[in-house]
Amino acid sequence: MARLVRMDGSGHTTLAEWTARDDDAFQIAVEEFRGQLEMGYIGTVPDGPGQATHVRELPREADLVVMRRPLAGG
């Protein structure tokens, strides 16, 4: 089961879950993903140790997609 997760004040919130074969669940996740982008979140796929990828569309095959807030120099 793939998950779309948002890092927020609660630690993290699971926004959607889908499987590669479940088109309806994936479409719901896509809408949720786009909504988060509009709110200013950034989509990231952790690819394993030391690697992550910035995504602008929800990848169907990903196991985990994380929505994070933008960074700024402190």
Long-range residue pairs from 14-18, CB within 8 A, at least 24 positions apart, any chain = 15/67, 18/60
Candidate list 19, 31, 52, 63; residue touching other proteins; CB under 8 A: 52
Do strands 64-68 and 2-6 pair parallel, antiparallel, or not at all (unpaired)?
A: parallel
Q: 65, 58 in Cβ contact below 8 A?
A: yes
> Contact letters (x/-) for other proteins, 5-44, by CB under 8 A?
x-xxxxxx-----------------------------x-x
Among 1, 21, 54, 61, binds other proteins (CB under 8 A): 54
Number of residues that bind other proteins (CB under 8 A): 30
